[in-house]
Amino acid sequence: MASNETVVEGVAGRYASALFDLAKEASKVSEVEADLNKFQAMLDESDDLRSMVRSPVIATEDQSRAMGALLAKAGIGGLAANFFKLIAGNRRLFATSDIIKAYRAISAKERGEVTAEVTSAVALNDAQTAELKQALKATVGKDVTLSARVDPSLLGGLIVKVGSRMIDSSLRTKLQTLKVQLGGSGA
């Protein structure tokens, strides 16, 4: 029960919970999640879209019009499109990524899954993703959904977060640790 409460904190959590409840009632949880994931991918790829979503100076009407055009072009319709238009009208577009993240967490919990946030220096291929899922499933004892992102500054390796646990096997961290050890022993 406590973990569900942490998911639904704040503006993003309240919106995500409301959207999930509506999607569940309409039997469209996975369809809405797919549309949210599609929009998140668009956000991740476009600096202009991120700027538009986060900008407090763009008029509500302009944001709503832009969102309508983007959603239509991306093929996002139904409940997800209505939801995006609602948060645009309510000046809550800045919370879009957090809302999507919270929705994914609620949806995964409903399916009995755990979500692992994986950050890697390069995109993982299908074989690496499957192997990582199996390893995490063996560790946590539940099916694992991966939320992956790429951060080239890691140089290599992975950072995996599952709940409150974090495993940092990135090359950047290993080099920083080595630098501290060498700096501390030789000076």
> What number of residues does the chain have?
187
Cα dist. 138→65, 120, 143 in Å? 47, 21, 9
pLDDT per residue rounded down to tens, the chain (187 residues): 334 444 457 889 999 999 999 999 999 999 999 999 999 999 989 999 999 999 889 999 999 999 999 999 999 999 999 999 999 999 999 999 999 989 988 998 888 888 888 999 899 999 999 999 999 888 888 888 888 888 888 888 899 998 788 888 888 888 888 888 888 654 4
Domain boundaries 2-107, corresponding CATH code: 1.10.520.20
Domain boundaries 113-186, corresponding CATH code: 3.40.30
- Show the tokens assigned to 175: 């080099």
Q: What are 147's strand-pairing partners?
A: 117
What residues does CATH 3.40.30 cover in the chain? 113-186
Strands (E), the chain: 113-120, 143-150, 158-162, 165-168
